[in-house]
Amino acid sequence: MPGVFPDYPAPVVRNADTEREMLLMRWGMPPPPRAGGSPVTNIRNTSSPHWRGWLKPECRCFVPANSFAEYAPEPTPETKKKDAVWFALNEDRPLFAFAGIWTEFRGDRGTKSKPIPGPHLVYRFLTTSPNAVVEPINQKAMPVMRKPGCRRDERGPSARRDPRRRR
């Protein structure tokens, strides 16, 4: 699979009426108005009022992937730069999906010297506490991931899991 980078198009699966569709969207959604700055790529605080409207089932999506990277916490002595540490489900790098949300953004994207006028379909990943594999590299968060074949109800990506229900 090709790499996915902030503000570049990537394949995203979303609900469209009663079907699912795959289309290209840009990674990064507008930040909260008071924060300003560049597009936000991940959401850790889903209780923030800014994100609440996008957590509805119609705004949920999956982003196909077979691996992801986090920067090492410390630079290497030789290069003085932080190396990318890659994670996958196993050595064969099978397909999985990141859980995310999407929206339409009507502003410009791209660089200041080469703006790309909107509208743009944009997405960002939902994150959770890191597992034991990711935590030594990123203590704050990791993407919410879903493996193919996971149990789900008939509503597909928009299905909500009841936190009281055990699997």
Q: Name the pLDDT band for 26 (thresholds 50, 70, 90).
A: very high
Q: How far is CA 158 from the centre of its chain?
A: 15
End-to-end CA distance of the chain: 31
CA atoms of 126 and 62, how far apart (whole Å)? 10
**Could you report the per-residue pLDDT of 94-104, keeping only the tens digit for each?**
999 999 999 99
Q: Name the pLDDT band for 153 (thresholds 50, 70, 90).
A: very low
Q: How far is CA 154 from the centre of its chain?
A: 23
CATH architecture of 9-66+94-156: Alpha-Beta Complex (3.90)
Task: Give me the residue spans of the domains in the chain.
Answer: 9-66+94-156
Q: Name the pLDDT band for 77 (thresholds 50, 70, 90).
A: very high
**Could you report the per-residue pLDDT of 100-144, keeping only the tens digit for each?**
999 999 888 888 899 889 899 999 999 999 999 999 999 999 999
Q: Is the pLDDT of residue 155 over 60?
A: no
Q: Is the pLDDT of residue 38 over 80?
A: no
